[in-house]
Amino acid sequence: MLDLYRSSETTPPLEMANALRSAALYAERRADAAEARKLWVEARSYYQQLDERFALLRGLPGNPGVIEADRHIAALS
């Protein structure tokens, strides 16, 4: 699935981030910490592209996707 998203130049950042998030969670369940961390870092970069959009939609600072990714990255480090 990730290959499909990665191969398209039109995949929206949120869709790509969420696909990476799912893959990262699956890697964690398989106890593949290195792969999970790599995927979380990549997902975080896509979520971060949406900081302004999250702020406008929520009316609050902070991006839930970045916050979740940071929490998982820290736990896997």
Nearest 5°: phi and psi at 62? 95, 145
Q: Which domains does the chain have, with CATH numbers?
A: 13-76 (1.20.58)
pTM as predicted: 0.89
Low-confidence ranges of the chain (pLDDT < 70): none
Q: What's the CA gap between 45 and 31, in Å, rounded?
A: 23
User: What's the number of CA atoms in the CB half-sphere (13 Å) around residue 62?
Assistant: 6
Q: What is the pLDDT of residues 64-74, one digit of tens each?
A: 999 999 999 99
